[in-house]
Amino acid sequence: MPSDATSQAPETMPLSVEVTPLAIHIGAEISGVDLSRPLPPEQVRDIRAALLKWKVVFFRDQPMTHRQHIEFSRQFGALTPGHVVYGGDGEFPEIYPITKHRTANNFQDQVLLRPWTGWHTDLTAAINPPMASILRGVIVPPYGGDTQFTSLVAAYNALSPTMRGFVDGLRGIHRNAPPQEVKAGKEYEELVQKRTLISEHPLVRVHPETGERALYAGPIHLKSIAGLSPRESQVLLEMLWEHLVRTEFTVRFKWEPGSVAFWDNRAACHLAPRDIFDSDFDREFYRTTLVGDVPVGVDGKRSTSLQGDPITAA
């Protein structure tokens, strides 16, 4: 995404798409657009502006092929090669499949290979976490499997001035490993060992386009706070994690076949559903991911890589 002011449509300019907010702080549904075709510049502009304002935007009734999904995504930035740790679709390497099937082997694979299920911001263990993700539903359960999103900007703004001043100067250690209480499978552990990622990011990230401050504290990958004792770090993180998922900062999206969610990974955290593993329903989703930049803190300092390479474009 460009960083200049032209990335957002002026308030007086008529929108080329219809944007319907779904919650006070986060989430809007966009209609009046066909994502399977190349978009005119004004629609790209208005979708981008809505994304920056609402942190996650949703589309309904948008059946797409893998190729169309890729081409739509490329209008907003360079794509990563699927998932940098777990890979992607063989024929379409930019596509990362997220599926759960009723067969015992596939179900077990899902449980073992995706133990991070919980609130998280995508791949913050990388020095340059993804800018955004675009997820589309193909086979969707009749009920269950909703995805929730929370605004890290709203969470930051709701902290007391004293707490904001404290966390502004802190940095967190992020690692691509599941929480200690989650037992991961051998195959998952082997994949992580091949591509271990550890980075130190500001606990408060300044959004590169809007200038907003976001509480960059997604629970799954953030392991500790630099410079604090283990106990101090644990207590502070537990308080912040409880705070950032308060219901007033969130939106819940019920999927339908052909639904698409496009979220700003720099300003939002999301909750991958776990209830689907308690059902017999199939669920087949596909995701593209846009390459991101290196986070910058309130003090102007960039993140630092402790282990692993940056995410590169496909």
| Distance from C-alpha of 11 to C-alpha of 49, rounded to nearest angstrom | 11
Beta bridge partners of residue 115, listed in sequence order: none
101 catalytically annotated? no
Query: What are the backbone dihedrals phi and psi of residue 61, each rounded to the nearest 5 degrees, phi first?
Result: 55, 55
Annotation says 4 is catalytic: no
Ramachandran category for residue 123: left, alpha or beta (phi over 0 → left; psi -120 to 50 → alpha):
left
Known active-site residue 299: no
Closest CA to 199 of 231, 235, 224, 233: 224
Q: CA triplet 196, 200, 202: central angle to 5 degrees?
A: 145
The residue from 25, 136, 175, 287 that is catalytic is 287
Which H or E element spans position 187? Answer: helix 186-194
Distance CA 265, CA 174 (A): 15
Catalytic-residue membership of 221: no
Catalytic residue among 74, 120, 243, 302: 120
Strand order across the beta sheet in which 147-151 lies: 119-120, 268-271, 147-151, 250-253
From 114, 122, 205, 207, the catalytic residue: 122
Catalytic residues: 120, 122, 270, 287
